[in-house]
Amino acid sequence: MEEIPNTLWAKLILERLSKMDCIKRGWILVGFPKTREQALALQEMGIAPEHVVILDAPDTVLIERNLEKRIDMTTGEIYHTTFNWPTSSKIRKRLVKPGGTSEEETAKRLLEYRRVIHGVLNSYSKKYHIINADQPSVDVFSQTLSHVQSRHRSNAPYTPRIILHGPPGSGRSLQAALIAEKYGIVNVSCGQLLKEPVAAETRFGEAIKPYAESRQPVPDVMVLKCLSRRLSKLDCSTRGWVMHGFPQDVSQAEMLNDAGFIPNRVFFLDVPDDAVIERLAMRMTDPITGERYHSIYKPAPTSEVYSRCKINPKDSEENVGKALEVYHANVSELEQFYSPVIHVNADQDPYTVFEYIESCVVKPPSKNPNAFV
């Protein structure tokens, strides 16, 4: 049986987490990621959990637990001969030992787990918390609940207020996700914020909906209203934020400043126009697997896969060219407004880009009285 690609898993998870119940109530993700590659796939989709809880116990304990596990094939309920044995003789009679739980099979799975778990921990190095699972389940639950209810403290040396600006395809959303993940600050995506009230069918969302359906820009006043609500929340004011998608011109930047949201870092992700067109106009998606390909960097494995791949209309060379024209028409004035800004060569490996951005994030804020503060 062929394994599901990590990118498809991440896409499916993103689709589920984008639904209104997850947005309003939060979510718990179990069973993914299992490897560093899967963790990076989530990060590339902008999925950054606030808490990562690792339940761990000695291998001997885990093997013993698996050996005594039983399953009710009628209800799917899982029991244990020591910790959770049913009182009903009728239920006990239909319990069976599930496959893959022998000592040899469990030891093999644990060996693989121990081999790859360090990659996952490194991906969430400032966020994970290990809880001893070799204790009563009520204690495990109590400790887990206590941890997830605690407020994260940013790892940054000051409260970051970061804006990422750049042309389409410059990697702003990925860099924002990486920064938010590393320093525990809030990832504020303007596009995502506008989708949430529409999905919730709020009064504000109903006002935005016609613009979304016609693919027209939402008026600046409405965008600022949405952003102000988010940036005014306690997590943004105490932990800091990294924002992308706004402002796109000086008028929007002035509105943001007048509202009291003044960044202390503004990064310009620089990518040549031909590289942007190459990144976007040549990428495609397999509608069956969800796997993403690129004509140069990641070609489709077979002619059959290539023939069924689709290109997003907004990624056509013509549309990308129009977006670049709008970007270049505003970039100089916006750079002058936020001077001094930090220019980053984004035409290289994204994790090299992140390392440079990170080095600038940890520097003390500028003492220049004429600089943004």
Render 227-260 in DSSP notation, one character per residue.
HHHHHTSHHHHHH-EEEES---SHHHHHHHHHTT
Instruction: State phi, psi for 131 to the nearest 5 degrees.
Output: -120, 135
Among 283, 346, 363, 347, CA closest to 315: 283
Q: Which pTM was predicted?
A: 0.57
Position 338 scores a pLDDT of: 92
Position 125 scores a pLDDT of: 77
CB 266 within 8 A of CB 154: no
CB 53 within 8 A of CB 144: yes
* Those residues with Cβ within 8 angstroms of residue 122's Cβ, 6 or more apart along the chain or in another chain: 36
Question: Tokens for 17?
Answer: 């987490």
Residues facing residue 269 across a β-bridge: 344
CB 236 within 8 A of CB 188: yes
> First vs last Cα of the chain: how many Å apart?
56
Can you list the domains of the chain with their CATH numbers?
A: 6-148 (3.40.50.300), 161-361 (3.40.50.300)
Question: Tokens for 65?
Answer: 């637990």
- Give the Cα separation of 154 and 176 in Å (integer): 15
- Give the Cα separation of 310 and 64 in Å (integer): 49
Q: Where are the beta strands (DSSP E) in 97-239?
A: 128-132, 161-165, 186-189
Position 188 scores a pLDDT of: 93
| Each residue's pLDDT expressed in tens, for the chain with a length of 373 residues | 567 888 888 889 988 888 878 877 788 999 999 998 998 888 877 787 888 999 998 888 888 888 888 898 888 888 888 878 888 888 888 899 888 888 889 889 889 998 888 888 888 877 788 999 888 888 889 888 888 877 655 555 568 899 999 998 898 988 999 999 888 889 999 888 888 888 878 888 888 888 878 878 889 988 998 898 888 887 888 888 999 999 999 999 999 988 888 898 999 999 999 888 888 888 888 888 878 888 877 888 888 888 888 888 887 888 888 889 999 999 999 999 998 899 999 998 888 999 999 888 876 555 443 343 3
To which H or E segment does residue 207 belong?
Answer: helix 203-214
- Give the Cα separation of 165 and 256 in Å (integer): 14
- Give the Cα separation of 373 and 364 in Å (integer): 11
Among 54, 55, 48, 5, CA closest to 27: 48
Position 204 scores a pLDDT of: 84
